[in-house]
A and B are shown apart, each in its own frame.
Chain A
Amino acid sequence: DGGITQSPKYLFRKEGQNVTLSCEQNLNHDAMYWYRQDPGQGLRLIYYSQIVNDFQKGDIAEGYSVSREKKESFPLTVTSAQKNPTAFYLCASSLLAGGETDTQYFGPGTRLTVL
């Protein structure tokens, strides 16, 4: 089955720790995205990547970092600099870089809780 997988489904972090959220897609999509979802806030863009070895900051990139070493993988690291990291994190991909009409396909999400 083609799709996007995210792991883990639930993640608990102590304050001051960095954690990495995994996102893998086997759709052969060029573009990948990370969104953060908070209750009543919709989805906000953290980072996006249109091609391997290149990525751009979104609206709320502070305290996060990403890498895109392989086309199918786009991991997100939540660093200790992120002041309020507890949220639901969604990874998405779309077929073409910069494709404004493309459908974005979403993974099942990772719920991060800071203890």
Chain B
Amino acid sequence: AQSVTQLDSQVPVFEEAPVELRCNYSSSVSVYLFWYVQYPNQGLQLLLKYLSGSTLVESINGFEAEFNKSQTSFHLRKPSVHISDTAEYFCAVNGGSQGNLIFGKGTKLSVKP
């Protein structure tokens, strides 16, 4: 069965600093990877996803993630964070033919002024 490991439960950073949120997945034949963001007391919103093709995927708000097959990783990065990026971030992998997602335990990003 697929699984996802998010290595850091909390990541505090200062505003305008770079950040990397780490995600590793269990290897499988067909892997589709997702990053979702959750603001306090809200549902999840898709940030970006990797399905195939270019291993670097970008979101509209400056985040990017790189699919690394050899290291089974899909780390999320942003070169300069804003206060508004404070949220919890979830990495997920496809769960199989039922279409569900398997989520990591989440990383809380806290951006300080």
- Name A residues whose Cβ lies closer than 8 Å to a Cβ of B: 4, 6, 31, 33, 35, 40-45, 48, 50, 56, 58, 90, 92, 94, 96-109, 111
Contact = CB atoms under 8 A, between A and B. Distances in A.
A105 to B, nearest CB: 8
B11 interface: no
Interface of B: 6, 9, 30, 32, 34, 36, 41-46, 49, 51, 90, 94-101, 103-106
15 contacts: A6-B43, A33-B100, A40-B9, A42-B90, A43-B44, A48-B98, A48-B99, A56-B98, A90-B44, A92-B43, A92-B44, A98-B97, A98-B98, A106-B45, A109-B42
Contacts of A48: 98-100
A109 B106 contact: no
